[in-house]
Structure 1
Amino acid sequence: MSALVFIGGGGHGRACLEAARSTGLIVAGFIDRDSQADMQGTPWLGDDDWLSQATEGPRFLITVGQVKSAAVRMRLYGQLQALQLPLATLIASSAVVASLSRLGKGCAVLHHALINAGADVGVNCIINSGALIEHDAVIGAHSHVATGAIVNGGTRIGSRCLVGSRAVVLQGVTVADDVVIGAGAVVTADVNEAGTWVGVPARRVS
């Protein structure tokens, strides 16, 4: 199996590095605009321009985090696609991904996350530590299900969404594209428009 190159050397990058090491994967280096980023001994290869010079061999994982906006992760994803560079998928050793689920390319599933049978997770998603994606749920491309969030069975989360830490999306609910669900919110009914939703039950605030 080829080595990985991480794109992003911040906190999410370090979390992904720990997950990769837990599975025995080799991270050959990382790229970041900050050459001083601390990636625990992993070599810095350069900034985003390094991608245009990349040779065949490594697989790539976008390890820039996602809070509120998926714009940076989407830009990097598009750049990788345009350059025809292969995307990696990372599953931490303590995460559980059911064999009857689907996980898109470029996803990171971090420690103690669970993706249950029949779930469908789109490309370039973050399923963060302790998150739970129940059976037959759908997570759209470029979305982030944050730490400890619960997406119940049969739920449909749109693309470019953020489900905040400890948020709960109840059974069968549909969430539109470009929605931010605040930390600790409980979504009890369909969310039909983009914006930020908070509270119990969740209500749109912006």
Structure 2
Amino acid sequence: MDLIIVGAGGHGRCCLDIAREIYDDIVFLDDGLVGKTINDCKVIGGMKDIQVLREKYSNIFIAIGNNKLREELITQAQEIGFNIVNLISNKSIISNYAKIGQGCVIFPNVVIEPNSTIGDGCVICANSVINHDAFIADYSLVNSSSVIRPTALLNKYSHIGCRCLIGKEIEEASSIEDGKVVI
């Protein structure tokens, strides 16, 4: 199966490792790295090439850490007709009763418990735990080793740092620093 990953920076390279669990024909798009090979994967163009590449590729993943830019690029790819995929590590544990939107990446050692919801375009980094009944709204990012407690609500564009404990509602577009406890 084919896949374009948009973004060949650090986040894109991490997503590539998960993509290799599923896809065998993977290329990058990255305006700043066109013509390079990153981790044995070719950067075949930039964003200006996305429309023409739809003829050859059907699946796309937007590996951009900026929440709002990720939303813009996912919307653009949808309008072109790409299938927006999830990249979910086979080393994660996800309840059959959890809901996950499209365009999400779930890194290794993540636990997503029953009746939790992950919106579209979310990034859940390694070793994080999303407890039961938590709600993570669209285009949010939970960094490594954070815990989102039961019934916590992260509103759209939330950015949670590493090693955080979140146990209440987080306002839209909030950025929580590494190591913070918000209960």
Which band: TM-score by shorter chain? over 0.9
Is the Cα–Cα contact under 8 Å of residues 36 and 42 in structure 2 kept in the other structure? no
2:113 pairs with 1:116: yes
Match of 2:166 in 1: 169
2:180 pairs with 1:185: yes
1:55 CA displacement: 1.6
Match of 1:78 in 2: 75
In the TM superposition, 1:97-176 aligns within 5 A as 97-170=94-167, 173-176=168-171
3-state secondary structure, aligned to 1:61 = strand
Match of 2:61 in 1: 61
3-state secondary structure, aligned to 1:6 = strand
- TM-score under structure 2 length normalisation: 0.93
Distance in structure 1 (CA, Å) of the matches to 2:47 and 2:83: 16
Q: Percent of counterpart pairs with the same letter?
A: 23
3-state secondary structure, aligned to 1:5 = strand
1:93 CA displacement: 1.5
1:20 CA displacement: 2.0
Structure 1: 4+ residue segments shifted above 4 A: none
Distance in structure 1 (CA, Å) of the matches to 2:50 and 2:147: 35
2:89 pairs with 1:92: yes
Letter in 1 for 2:68: A
Distance in structure 2 (CA, Å) of the matches to 1:63 and 1:42: 14
Is the Cα–Cα contact under 8 Å of residues 95 and 112 in structure 1 kept in the other structure? yes
- TM-score under structure 1 length normalisation: 0.83
The CA deviation string for residues 106-165 of structure 1, in whole angstroms up to 9 with x for no partner, is: 000011111111111000110011111110110000000001111011111100110110
The unaligned stretches of length 5 or more in structure 2 are none
Is the Cα–Cα contact under 8 Å of residues 107 and 124 in structure 1 kept in the other structure? yes
Is the Cα–Cα contact under 8 Å of residues 84 and 102 in structure 2 kept in the other structure? yes
Could you tell me which of 23, 27, 30 is aligned with 1:32? Answer: 30
Letter in 2 for 1:6: I
1:12 CA displacement: 0.6
Q: What number of residue pairs does the alignment pair up?
A: 181
2:46 pairs with 1:47: yes
CA RMSD in angstroms comes to 1.5
Distance in structure 2 (CA, Å) of the matches to 1:160 and 1:176: 9
3-state secondary structure, aligned to 2:150 = coil
1:65 CA displacement: 2.0
